[in-house]
Amino acid sequence: MQSVLQIVIILGIVVLITPILGRYIANVFLEQSTIFDSLLNPIENIIYVVCGVNKKQQMTVGQYIKSVLVSNFIMGISAYVLISFQQLLPWNPNNLNAPRWDTILHTTISFLTNTDQQHYIPETTLSHFSQTAALGFLMFTSAATGLAVGIAFIRGLTGRKLGNFYTDIIRAIIRILLPISIIGAIALVALGVPETLEGTLVVKTLEGRTQYIPRGPVASFEMIKMIGQNGGGFFAANSAHPFENPNSVSNLIEAIAMIIIPASLIHSYGVFANNLKQSWLLFWMVFLIFVIFVWVTVAGEMQGNYLANQIVGIEIPNLEGKEMRFGVGETGLWAVITATTMTGAVNGMLDSFMPQGIFCNLSSLFLQMVWGGQGTGTANLFIYLILTVFITGLMVGKTPEFLGRKIEQREIFLASAILLIHPIIVLVPSAIALAYPNSLSGISNPGFHGISQVVYEYASAAANNGSGLEGLQDNTLWWNLSSSLTILLGRYVPIIAMLLLASSMSNKSTVPQTRGTLRTDSVMFTSITACLTMILTLLTFFPVLVLGPVAEGLNLVSGN
């Protein structure tokens, strides 16, 4: 009962905050007045002058894409160099040397793309300078990049010009990410999260043993990790570590921080489109799918392991891998939030979850729209919406239009490319790794669970999520390079296609609604969108789900 109450409180707060933050985000990018203008306008203008950005300049789609790619490339090179020479730089109290080149490459690409997949132990691998100046910097810029692309996509859908990437990324950091991160970090410090440049503390225990307690600027790192849907931990235990997540209040704050921006962006779309009815329908559609995932996951953990229950004679929860400070319910909720928002942070061990939970997490990584990543998740939601308009329009003989603009061959080609790149970059490398279980895969748990481990790693990389079934032995040359390629393709191919699609829609002239126009702001159409989204995803990934978590669950129930 307590777990249910905690889940209801978190979801209730999200529903209350969504329209407020959604309206604020819309006002920021529509350049309308906000309550923070008097404070932030001077700061923003100074940055424009220093960086040479003309905030009034509108970019073409080619310029916007080029700006995204060039800026990300430069930021990635800078972070790679900083980590490579961390032993020569300050804030290295533990005198750590640089990691292997392939580990640095994977880490840089991972944090550059808002994925934050970690194949290393942070507290024994990276200095405080690398964690803050390299990774902390990338956590802000990668989140802002995704948010800028998401807003540009919404602009295009609603008939506006795409905007200016540099203006968008600066506004995203200065007016959204940075203020929330500062307030959140102060709150976390007050709750006991450390913020220091001191190194590892060495203490003697009561038994006379030596204990090493790692420390660092954790609070500032933690908040942008959550609000930016980054997910990479300052410590290997991530948000199960008491220095990252010390109590139930910090757990509440961090859980809400993960979900609030992608949830609010749906409302922001309603403001842009002047159609709040449709945005609320889409919000509740996503919310319902999310709640179903939470229910299935938490129920599976509460029912526990069938084989263990048979031995003890009663039904006991699956406590393995759970953070008992928060309980089974909140750990299950967190697991679903971290998968659906593409954050990747964990406050328990996902590898120890029952097959139901792994099924829901994999499904979330395959869907990428229940809430989805920073900015790009909202765009994925509308990709499914556009495909639904086209398919249902053809089925009932009505004109496929969205917001008064015809959906034609070019838009469907780009939407299809966005959806098809995902299974290609997940399933192909998974098949290669599974074909060489001894030399490549790194599976620690053979059988059906081992298949889930491998597929989850690539699905997490392709969806820019970063979480994993951590029994996998992934800090190898194969995993670092293959997952880096998956991350890059999973990030930039959809972004390019999204911007091209948005530009195409923006350049179309609107046509008046007629009796043949298919309305997209109805309960019926939203229900069809939900069903079609599930069908398209299952058609692509159901065989993998059957070979992994479904087969594992059936195997447990059969007593094998």
pLDDT in tens, 53-69: 988 899 999 999 999 99
Answer whether residue 128 shows pLDDT above 60: yes
Nearest C-alpha neighbor of 450 from the set 350, 322, 311, 549:
549
What's the mean pLDDT in 537-544? 90
Nearest C-alpha neighbor of 22 from the set 337, 256, 254, 280:
280
Q: Where are the alpha helices (DSSP H) in 341-408?
A: 355-367, 376-396
Helix H or strand E encompassing 34? none
What's the mean pLDDT in 526-551? 92
- Which has the minimum average pLDDT: 307-321, 446-460, 527-541? 307-321
pLDDT score for 321: 85
Two structure tokens written together for 439: 């030399």
Answer whether residue 399 shows pLDDT above 80: no
pLDDT score for 510: 80
Answer whether residue 264 shows pLDDT above 90: yes
**Total H helices, total E strands in the chain:** 21, 4
Two structure tokens written together for 272: 């842009």
pLDDT score for 267: 95
CA 380 to chain centre: 12
pLDDT score for 13: 94
The helix-helix angle for 276-303 and 248-273 (nearest 10°) equals 150
Q: How confident is the model at residue 251 (pLDDT cuts 50, 70, 90)?
A: very high
pLDDT score for 505: 93
Two structure tokens written together for 13: 């707060």
pLDDT tens per residue, range 289-332:
999 999 999 999 998 888 888 887 778 888 888 888 888 888 99
Other beta carbons within 10 angstroms of residue 80's beta carbon come to 18
Let me know if 52 is exposed, middle or buried by CB neighbors in 10 A (0-12, 13-18, 19+): exposed
| Dist CA 509 CA 498 (whole Å) | 19
pLDDT score for 152: 96
Two structure tokens written together for 351: 């590898």
| Dist CA 8 CA 330 (whole Å) | 10
pTM tops 0.75: yes
Q: How confident is the model at residue 394 (pLDDT cuts 50, 70, 90)?
A: confident
pLDDT tens per residue, range 416-444:
999 999 999 999 999 999 988 777 777 87
Phi, psi angles (nearest 5°) of residue 395:
-70, -35
Contact 537, 367 (CB under 8 A): yes
Answer whether residue 256 shows pLDDT above 90: yes
Other beta carbons within 10 angstroms of residue 242's beta carbon come to 15
pLDDT score for 516: 64
pLDDT score for 415: 93
| Dist CA 557 CA 179 (whole Å) | 49
pLDDT score for 119: 93
Contact 483, 461 (CB under 8 A): yes
pLDDT score for 488: 97
pLDDT score for 250: 94
pLDDT score for 560: 61
Answer whether residue 147 shows pLDDT above 90: yes
Other beta carbons within 10 angstroms of residue 11's beta carbon come to 19
pLDDT score for 383: 94
Task: Report, in angstroms and rounded to the nearest whole number, the Rg of the chain calculated over CA atoms.
Answer: 23
pLDDT score for 424: 95
Place of tokens 């306008």: 41
| Dist CA 421 CA 491 (whole Å) | 10
What's the mean pLDDT in 61-85? 97
Answer whether residue 1 shows pLDDT above 60: no
Other beta carbons within 10 angstroms of residue 203's beta carbon come to 9
Measured between alpha carbons, how far is residue 221 from residues 142, 231, 260 in Å?
14, 10, 18
Q: How confident is the model at residue 116 (pLDDT cuts 50, 70, 90)?
A: very high
pLDDT score for 2: 62
- Cα torsion at 478, 480, 485, 488 (round to 10°)? 170
pLDDT tens per residue, range 334-390:
999 999 999 999 998 999 999 999 999 999 999 999 999 888 888 999 999 999 998
pLDDT score for 514: 67
Q: Where are the alpha helices (DSSP H) in 397-469?
A: 409-435, 448-462
Answer whether residue 473 shows pLDDT above 90: no
pLDDT tens per residue, range 172-217:
999 999 999 999 999 999 999 999 999 889 998 888 889 989 999 9
Considering only residues 516 and 332, tell me which one the structure prediction assigns the higher pLDDT.
332
210-213 and 201-204 beta bridge pairing: antiparallel
Contact 351, 473 (CB under 8 A): no
Nearest C-alpha neighbor of 26 from the set 224, 274, 258, 260:
274
Whole-number average pLDDT of the chain: 91
CA 288 to chain centre: 19
